[in-house]
Structure 1
């Protein structure tokens, strides 16, 4: 559903219909797909904690939301452990295979071959989802693999009802998916048509793969039969990723990036995500003004948003990459002094010029990602974002195993200054190297009150727009006092330095746009919705879940 087809009033009505309040002594899961949310809520109702529910939801989404839910991709998970009052950042981002090299996607003229970088078999990086979900379960969960994976196995084996959203997305990607015999067999009828709305989609090969993982754990995916099927499929397409690469994959626990905003603490994912660094950076810049007095989505407010975004994305292009390969200046970028200097440089009467805004320190990622949040009765909280990159990844499925391969190698900088599939520019920090993790915009985030108690878990899909979508959701909630349903429904904008345009959703007033245009800002209606946050917040004794109306199948489910 394009946001251009939905009025602002209708958006609020839709959001309220997906707003689920529940007593805080229960638990809640919010995801992009109803069945997966219900799976997570059922795990909570059975006595599982937020981590158990998050793992169960992640595996369920691999069945019910194949364009983004996955076992062939990777992602990031923030976990707040209530008893320890500690937040853990779990990095299960994909890694480049050992055959990767900086020039692997350049043609004879030295230009980026975007078809190979985005849809070729060598666009596949080593998947991290299975390792990451099982790592979280084993370290912080309370249930067994068999318990949390059983719902996903049943959904794959017994079939799911094809929703309008699933049928339409398969129709939209038919040309790419039908070109691969395995994908064609898994997702389409014999005549090449997408399954009809209301029909059943059975995934027996995926059910068998999930059952093997449930029985044997991580080793099955990275060294067992599933690994054999994956390597055989990649080799059949001429790819290089092999058994040694799969065996080399590792999950990393990192310190979250945290900052303060108006007395609250905001924590998000550190590099190789750019999300946490630039979320904190933009909040730091914006804290220099009394935003509430300017009015929500007024021209004056939006101007400050745009200029903060412009500077953060300029810094992203130069300074962000995998911290295991490049020394990312996290402290400098999230320093409030640096933010204050940035704020002072922003002209308040005219638009900035991206050509004149360079990365500012002086030093010696599909829109079809998916996010979900879970919260349990004990106060443990999970914010998880994972992806195949593009919708349905590179379109190729593992024959005999039932799952799609990712195309995350496109998230590297294939050439200095060349844009990736989301228009993002990059330099040395994000160049392709063996076993390196590509830079990401995924921004799972947690907000804490002054007393240290969690207030909000949120995150979004949306490629390069993820960071700005999460930013605006937090500002709506923290600065303008909206409840999470209102904060979710409010119309959004996005700017990412290059292209030098402000993308906007319906609901941004014509008057505000006219004032900003007179200041020199260039506007373009977003061709699709800007993100889709899946959030859980705490309001006194209540948990409040908000599933973004921008995804038609999204749902909040409570363990009441």
Structure 2
């Protein structure tokens, strides 16, 4: 919603051990930032050092990630931002998820009444949702920031102009996307050479993206949603810039779709776990609700006192049940009446917990529970259906920033699949999302395509508090594995007592109510795997890297510790301000 790494990319990374340095951890007393990009973290720190707050620094980091990590995020997509405002002691969230163009119908991804091939849907104008990122950044800065677009975009403009080297990770992603990118002339020109991925070490300059950022710096968000840039987006969606002989589905986006786009300021999902208050993202993201339900189920067990395998078995089973309910109920709240209060209730969690066999994995995919029974409002006419688990893009990015005043941002944003739709907007240098493939291609289901609707997401930016004070943030990319990455990291940190860097670096297990649990390379055959196999758990046959998490821990002594990945996605970067700022 990153990060799965294909076997080729993993082989490249293993061949470059320098990319797998010691876990990036930084501790200090000032503002902090953790991202998967050194240049993005540096951009955030530069803004903090100039007096900007966490919101200003977040936009600076995000804009830079749009340059250096363009295949997972950028202004052609959307996201969810969870913000803690220290002065007011409150948490707010900004939903700038992409919306379906007004031309959308439930049958948009069907032919002759049957769903079309997923990859065919991705590489098309039809997969592109109305981007919300720019409007989301504007709302964040206007409401809660202290700086202008001109100030916070300056670092990213410099990176786009001067260029950045192709890393082994980025090269691997280009290789993975050669087929898709080669369909579009504007994309091939930027990221391929003679139809092949740019070699490691090549300096990539993106003057068109620098131009797009300059227009935003000059005219504000309207530069994206009205005028020449908006027209370029619409043209790219409706008449994709294809190379000779290529053919893809066209979209049906209009200038009105862009100019009418609105963000939503939503109440966060609030839950509790072992004395902590957790705040996450509400619908249309399923992340906050699903993480909370799984934790509510796990709260009934004394995981600390158990053998590790027994506790991990329960983690997997709780995740399985929570995903069954997620798939049955959750979607855009403006289109779907989901029993969120029921799902979040401790009573519902107790009922779901009673279904877990502490000694054996569920033998098959489990059905959803009836969360409507735990709603205060009994007027709901709907009951859950057992929905097909749709394939979901896994390529997103997460970052987190805090400032010396105590403000915090946990932010996940995306263009969906690696490289999104594959379409670079001619003249503006950014990739368009394929977010519409996050809809279920057929129904009935709460997440079917509809005009103006926001597809269900799994993004789960989270901020945790203890006794009213910030304790930690956590978030990750990874499609539906975002939920399990955040959940597992919280369990590792709070229940197993791991330091945050170890909690993040531990092998990830992602159970999403499917026949096999998704695992990473090297897990199958390990002692940990064999211990869980004794409970009946099964693993995916093609292990891939899961997620690229970032966190900040607020220590009891007043210091902060920023933590990024120690090995995934080529290693992240954690920075903390030095004294004097």
TM-score normalised by length of structure 1: 0.92
Report the counterpart of residue 411 of structure 1 in structure 2.
438
Report the counterpart of residue 330 of structure 2 in structure 1.
320
Report the counterpart of residue 387 of structure 2 in structure 1.
none
Report the counterpart of residue 474 of structure 2 in structure 1.
458
Report the counterpart of residue 452 of structure 2 in structure 1.
435
Equivalent residues in 2 for 1:77-88, closer than 5 Å: 77-88=81-92
Report the counterpart of residue 270 of structure 1 in structure 2.
282
Q: Give the C-alpha shift of residue 482 in structure 1.
A: 2.0
Q: Give the C-alpha shift of residue 356 in structure 1.
A: 4.5
Moved more, 177-186 or 230-239: 230-239
Q: Give the C-alpha shift of residue 311 in structure 1.
A: 0.7
Equivalent position to 2:408, from 362, 374, 381:
381
CA 1:538/1:128 → structure 2, altered by over 3 Å: closer, same or farther? same
Whether 2:322 is the aligned partner of 1:346: answer no
Report the counterpart of residue 21 of structure 1 in structure 2.
27
Report the counterpart of residue 202 of structure 1 in structure 2.
205
CA 1:387/1:544 → structure 2, altered by over 3 Å: closer, same or farther? same
Q: Give the C-alpha shift of residue 471 in structure 1.
A: 0.6
Whether 2:272 is the aligned partner of 1:254: answer no
- Answer whether contact 2:365 2:515 (CA < 8 A) is retained: no
Whether 2:576 is the aligned partner of 1:558: answer yes
Q: Secondary structure at the match of 2:115?
A: coil
CA 1:357/1:202 → structure 2, altered by over 3 Å: closer, same or farther? same
Gaps of 5+ in 2: 241-249, 374-380, 382-391
Gaps of 5+ in 1: 417-426
Q: Which of structure 1's runs of 4+ aligned residues deviate more than 6 A?
A: 1-6
Q: Encode CA deviations 1:299-355: one digit per residue, 9 max, x unaligned.
A: 211210111111111111110000011112111001011111111121112221334
Report the counterpart of residue 422 of structure 1 in structure 2.
none
Q: Secondary structure at the match of 1:69?
A: coil
- Answer whether contact 2:48 2:403 (CA < 8 A) is retained: yes
Equivalent residues in 2 for 1:79-98, closer than 5 Å: 79-98=83-102
The whole-number CA distance in structure 2 between the counterparts of 1:340 and 1:328 is: 19
CA 1:175/1:432 → structure 2, altered by over 3 Å: closer, same or farther? same
Whether 2:152 is the aligned partner of 1:148: answer yes
The whole-number CA distance in structure 2 between the counterparts of 1:502 and 1:99 is: 36
Matched positions, count: 541
Equivalent position to 2:46, from 33, 42, 46:
42
Whether 2:295 is the aligned partner of 1:283: answer yes
Report the counterpart of residue 333 of structure 1 in structure 2.
343
CA 1:480/1:16 → structure 2, altered by over 3 Å: closer, same or farther? farther
Pairwise CA RMSD of aligned residues? 2.2
Moved more, 493-502 or 392-401: 493-502
- Answer whether contact 2:284 2:456 (CA < 8 A) is retained: yes
Whether 2:547 is the aligned partner of 1:531: answer yes
The whole-number CA distance in structure 2 between the counterparts of 1:72 and 1:466 is: 21
Equivalent position to 1:158, from 143, 155, 162:
162
Moved more, 234-243 or 453-462: 234-243
CA 1:555/1:119 → structure 2, altered by over 3 Å: closer, same or farther? same
Report the counterpart of residue 33 of structure 1 in structure 2.
37
CA 1:404/1:488 → structure 2, altered by over 3 Å: closer, same or farther? same
Report the counterpart of residue 421 of structure 1 in structure 2.
none
Whether 2:491 is the aligned partner of 1:491: answer no
The whole-number CA distance in structure 1 between the counterparts of 2:507 and 2:497 is: 16
Q: Give the C-alpha shift of residue 502 in structure 1.
A: 5.0
